[in-house]
Amino acid sequence: MTPFGQKIRDLRAGRNISQKEMAAALAVSPAYLSALEHGHRSAPSFDFVQRVITYFNIIWDEADELLQLAGVSHPRIVIDTTGLGPQATLFANELARTIRHLDEEALAQMTVTMQQAKLKNRHE
């Protein structure tokens, strides 16, 4: 499941809306919506995200969050380490081999570490 898929599922569940109802309102098939929620489709288009925002009458920060989640919801990623040092290539390959074996806590810790490093490098 992708972050965007989880958010869509949570929004639907919170409003007691079925996939079939939502799919009909958004002019997509229930199969597409299911695949999107489960991370079996690529990240949604900007147009689709805008239709979801309108459908749920989402505004401001929540709309921005949904757009951001859509942008980071590519279920199949390619990491290009061309031009980077050997440690970057080692890390990318190790992550690819082990990500399925990491629990949610380990993933959350790694995400925080990467975000902190990114912020630190911006301020230097």
> Domain holding 19: CATH number?
1.10.260.40
Number of domains in the chain: 2
Assigned domain for 80 exists: no
Tell me the C-alpha to C-alpha distance, in Å, between residue 34 and each of 30, 75, 93, 118, 124: 6, 14, 30, 33, 43
Residue 17 structural domain: 3-71
Instruction: Tell me: do 56 and 93 sit in the same domain.
Output: no
Assigned domain for 12 exists: yes
Model pLDDT for residues 57-75, shown as the tens digit of each residue: 998 999 999 999 998 888 7
C-alpha to C-alpha distance for 51 and 63, rounded to whole angstroms: 11
pLDDT reading at 123 higher than 80 = no
Instruction: Tell me: do 7 and 47 sit in the same domain.
Output: yes
Instruction: Tell me: do 35 and 64 sit in the same domain.
Output: yes
Model pLDDT for residues 17-53, shown as the tens digit of each residue: 999 999 999 999 999 999 999 989 888 999 999 999 9
